[in-house]
Structure 1
């Protein structure tokens, strides 16, 4: 049976951020922590060893695969900062047009530093992602 790798843990978000080697990336992580906390209204929780997540939802795919995931989150990784928003939301792509310097993967938006992005657009991305996930996966 499939075991979900990224699970919510009781690890300290602050201890994780304090462990980030790069001082500028650590500073950006604290900025993002503030923006995500204020925008979502959720306390930050560690998901797996390196994702800071906010809120959670339960998903179930047509294949039968299901699990829990944070509504939104971020991770100050060595190369870039990963931002986690809902996938499959057409509004996300529209909002990203005005976001600033970034690249995208399937589930992540990558930034080099917070100074490269528009914080108001970040707040809109967070809010839109939560709305989309709540509509897509209503609480069971």
Structure 2
């Protein structure tokens, strides 16, 4: 993932990320993928507005308050809910749904989502997709 543009002082955004979240998902189009789960890995990069990022002249150093930031536990919970919602055919569909769930939080401006199937191809560590969606 290219991480270079998500945190940007000129736009008052910070970069929040979740790395290597491994979950069991009901995913796949092939007959052998139906009726069972398989391991997926989810990576998120989020451009986030928060009180500290929005005040460039006086950052919120020392304002140690969870209410002023996007809580990564809440984001991870949203990912878990999407994955638990039922079978999806495509990793692309799952990535889109995860991005949509993240962007329901209006403080998240950009959601870059990578979803990988870890056991789909014997000769590959993973196969998957990466997408990026923005709040308007």
TM-score by length of 1: 0.26
More contact order relative to length (CA 8 Å, sep ≥ 6) = 2
Greater fraction of residues in strand? 2
Task: Determine which structure has more spread, i.e. the larger CA radius of gyration.
Answer: 2
Greater fraction of residues in helix? 1
